[in-house]
């Protein structure tokens, strides 16, 4: 996988809009990016990667928003709408250790990867990103990190 840029996006932390219940202000739906349905890419038994995407213009890179330590980028961030309006393809993702991915197991009875006495390391998370980029056939990925921990 070629990665043409890596952005540590401290600007993601500027002016976030949250409500107590949903993480997004319900009055802002017209200013939110229009992502598709939640998807889950199966990596192995009990291990999935959550993602949502917006297809943009072919001549622009795809910005892949990586999660921070305890959360992913909420789709209500107004800067996502600005990027969508400029024609960028956008992917929100959560690695297999985040709750969004854990709830995407194929069967309710299937144990999560972590319940199988397994552990993950940095190479595993890198592999998940690479697998998602390959699966989505992204030609020009740019990783955008919510925190230094996922960079």
The token pair that represents 27 in the structure block = 């009055």
66 vs 151: CA distance, rounded Å: 8
Q: 3-class SS at 7? A: strand
**8-58, pLDDT tens digit by residue?**
343 444 434 333 333 555 555 556 777 878 888 988 877 888 899 999 999
Residue found under tokens 């840029």: 5
14 vs 122: CA distance, rounded Å: 27
**59-71, pLDDT tens digit by residue?**
999 999 988 776 6
Share of the chain above pLDDT 70, in %: 66
Report the pLDDT value the prediction gives residue 106, as an integer from 0 to 100. Answer: 59
Is pLDDT of 102 > 80? no
DSSP letter, residue 82: H
Other Cβ atoms less than 10 A from the Cβ of 46: the count is 19
pTM for the full model?
A: 0.75
147 vs 123: CA distance, rounded Å: 18
Classify each residue of 60-75 as buried b or exposed e, where b means 16 or more C-beta atoms within 10 Å of its C-beta. Answer: ebbbbbbbbeeebbbb
């Amino acid at each position: 996988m070629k990665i043409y840029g890596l952005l540590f996006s401290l600007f993601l932390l500027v002016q976030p809009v949250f409500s107590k219940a949903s993480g997004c202000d319900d009055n802002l739906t017209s200013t939110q990016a229009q992502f598709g349905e939640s998807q889950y890419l199966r990596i192995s038994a009990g291990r999935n990667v959550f993602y949502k995407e917006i297809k943009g213009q072919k001549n622009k890179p795809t910005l892949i928003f990586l999660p921070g330590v305890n959360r992913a980028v909420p789709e209500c961030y107004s800067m996502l709408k600005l990027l969508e309006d400029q024609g960028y393809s956008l992917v929100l993702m959560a690695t297999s250790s985040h709750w969004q991915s854990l709830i995407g197991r194929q069967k309710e009875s299937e144990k999560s990867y972590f319940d199988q006495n397994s552990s993950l390391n940095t190479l595993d998370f890198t592999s998940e990103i690479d697998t998602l980029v390959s699966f989505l056939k992204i030609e020009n990925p740019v990783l955008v990190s919510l925190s230094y921990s996922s960079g």
